[in-house]
Amino acid sequence: MSVATSAVPSTAQMPADHPARLVDLARYPIHDLQSAEARTLVQRCHDELVATGSCMLPGFLTAEALAAMRQEARELAPLAYNEGAAKGTAYLDAPDKSLPEDHPRRRMLRTSVGAVAYDLVPQGSPLRRLYEWDGLNDFIASVVGLPNIYRYADPLGALNIAAMKCGDELLWHFDQTDFVTSILLEPSEQGGEFEYVPFIRSDDDERYDRVKRLFDGDMSEVIRLDLEPGAFAFFKGRHSIHRVTPIEGDTTRLIALLGYDTKPGTVSSEGLKQRRYGRIN
């Protein structure tokens, strides 16, 4: 007589190329979201994200998966497009000239970052398999507390590897999406720190006074997120201003950025694509 089994395959039954095998499932059993362990994990991540604006899952990738993704990212890094150092605002739009000169919306900040577009990440590569696995969507949706989330529909912007070389930096900014997920693959030797001020603004209060103090050099509210290679990071960047400090040393910082939205079909604007990838398709 057979015993009733659940629809969830045990890890031993999973085919060798099942994307769940890229994840340390003993620590993070995200292939079986109904299990008590996974429910506890999801609740813990959700609570941390709500309380602090971020959540880090160290050792999310297996050692083999991290090694393979890092190797591949190193090989793809020369294909990264970088328009060169530019200046922009933290609000990612043009400076508002109607405001006083010292207003944060007029502050021009240096930024320089290379990006490997999604269409350059080979079919079947470990990073692409992980990103295209619906099980990862389900896990992320439960952590952010939504019934569904959708991978970006943008053929260039959905999955990126950001490649930052010596002298590159990412300006203080607010994201235009509710949350970002990332996996650091290779840290820089020095610099390249992810810094942020949790909840510096809210939907109904821009708190320009706090933002101005930060731009004037007051670092008292700044926190460093300890991104570790192979960790999965959730970050809510709409209300928490953040930056990546200038890279020092010869090692290119490589981080996978996995793009999602709360509705299907999201693509990037042509202007953004041109700036970020040097092309629109």
Ligand X SMILES: O=C(O)CCC(=O)C(=O)O
Which CB, 21 or 239, lies closer to Fe ion? 239
Residue 182 is a binding residue for ligand X (CB under 6 A)? yes
Which CB, 29 or 114, lies closer to ligand X? 114
How far lies 90's CA from each of 97, 209, 232, in Å? Answer: 15, 14, 25
- Spatial neighbors of 184 by CB under 8 A, at least 6 apart, are 227, 228, 229, 230, 231, 233, 253, 254, 255
Q: Is the dihedral of CA 235, 238, 241, 247 positive or negative?
A: positive
Q: Which of residues 33-92 bind ligand X (CB under 6 A)?
A: none
Residue 231 binds which of Fe ion, ligand X, none (CB < 5-8 A, kind-dependent): none
Which CB, 48 or 175, lies closer to ligand X? 175
How far is Cα 63 from Cα 22, in angstroms, rounded to an integer? 9
Considering only residues 65, 244, 254, 258, which one is a binding residue for ligand X as defined by CB under 6 A?
Answer: 244
Whether residue 90 contacts residue 107, with contact meaning beta carbons closer than 8 Å, is answered with yes
Least Å from the CB of residue 175 to ligand X: 5
What DSSP state is assigned to residue 13? G
Considering only residues 66, 76, 180, 197, which one is a binding residue for ligand X as defined by CB under 6 A?
Answer: 180
Residue 182 binds which of ligand X, Fe ion, none (CB < 5-8 A, kind-dependent): ligand X
Least Å from the CB of residue 78 to Fe ion: 24
Size of the site for Fe ion (CB under 5 A): 2
Residue 237 is a binding residue for Fe ion (CB under 5 A)? yes
Which CB, 88 or 237, lies closer to Fe ion? 237
Which CB, 111 or 188, lies closer to Fe ion? 111
Residue 194 is a binding residue for ligand X (CB under 6 A)? yes
In the sheet that 159-164 helps form, which strands lie side by side, from edge to edge? 54-57, 232-235, 180-186, 253-258, 159-164, 114-116
Considering only residues 129, 236, 242, 276, which one is a binding residue for ligand X as defined by CB under 6 A?
Answer: 242
Least Å from the CB of residue 52 to ligand X: 16
Residue 175 is a binding residue for Fe ion (CB under 5 A)? yes
Piece of 46-54, 101-109, 216-224, 236-244 that binds ligand X (CB under 6 A): 236-244
What DSSP state is assigned to residue 236? -
Whether residue 47 contacts residue 142, with contact meaning beta carbons closer than 8 Å, is answered with no
User: Half-sphere exposure of 79 toward its Cβ, with a 13 Å CA cutoff?
Assistant: 16
Encoded one letter per residue, x for contact with ligand X by CB under 6 A and - for no contact, window 151-170 reads -----------x-------x
Whether residue 126 contacts residue 22, with contact meaning beta carbons closer than 8 Å, is answered with yes
How far lies 59's CA from each of 71, 185, 186, 228, 232, in Å? Answer: 17, 12, 14, 8, 8
User: Half-sphere exposure of 270 toward its Cβ, with a 13 Å CA cutoff?
Assistant: 2
Residue 257 is a binding residue for ligand X (CB under 6 A)? yes
Interface positions with ligand X (CB under 6 A): 162, 170, 175, 180, 182, 194, 237, 242, 244, 255, 257
Q: Enumerate binding residues for Fe ion (CB under 5 A).
A: 175, 237
